[in-house]
Amino acid sequence: MSYESRVALVTGAGHGIGAGIADRLAGQGHRLVLVDRNADTLAETRERIVSAGGTALAIEADVADAAAMTAVVVRVAGEVGPVEILVNNAGFTRDHPISELGLDDWDAVNDVVVRAAFVLTKAVAPSMRERHWGRIVNISSISALNDDGRANYVAAKAGLNGLTKAAALELGPFGITVNAVAPGVVVTGMTEIGARRHNRTLDEHVAILAEHVLVGRVGHPRDIARAVTFFTDEDADYITGQILFVSGYPHG
């Protein structure tokens, strides 16, 4: 693999998978722009990167705010340089069966997952076209294939996969690749919430989840980060419009 220092923007970078992706990209020498609405966890990610000798600009913002995201891209261009690598990672769940799922639940999840990815892709595309180089990686999920009791999240991640393929088709002629990484079970702060919901310890919960993974273990943010950096590599210019399932199982 070959690396060249690029300006890389990662949303949802304050914790979990987003923080893992940011750490790995920074370790490869990229100049990071970290976006998250949680100022405390955002500061922790930035401090970790800077302490390790990396460069990171932390911006507290809500990805669901389209105007704020457009402003972030403009600010980054002025302070750091045009965004060359975009990782649309931000997302969250608000699970209910369809009979109890409100439009606010639907909109909230879809606005963060797929609408924000569209807004940011549209915002960074002009400068990528000018430079005839760009890498966009969307963080999808195995839930895009189906998941019980979370129609809003399933639709959002499936929509993100569709956006990935549509954007790859439009932007490919300009030297811009667009791909998605779809994680399976990954241990993050959300896993601890799931454990408490099932009245289990975290270790018990992880062990039960691992029973349903073909390779016998759950995933970690580093597993997803490795896949992301595969797509952002200089040598990955012949790969676009792909959905890579990183789930310890032959999904897809």
Q: Which residues are catalytic?
A: 153
> Reduced to 3 states, what is the DSSP secondary structure of residue 142?
helix
Give, in order, the Cα–Cα distances in Å from 224 to each of 18, 148, 183, 234. 9, 23, 7, 18
Q: Which string of DSSP letters, residue by residue, matches 3-71?
A: ----EEEEETTTSHHHHHHHHHHHHTT-EEEEEES-HHHHHHHHHHHHHTT-EEEEEE--TT-HHHHHH
Report the chain's C-alpha Rg in angstroms: 17
- Is residue 134 a contact partner of residue 81, using CB atoms and an 8 Å limit? no
Element (H, E) at 190: helix 189-197
- Is residue 115 a contact partner of residue 64, using CB atoms and an 8 Å limit? yes
Where b means 16+ CB within 10 Å and e means fewer, 104-138 reads ebbebbbbbbbbbbbbbbebbbebbeeeebbbbbb
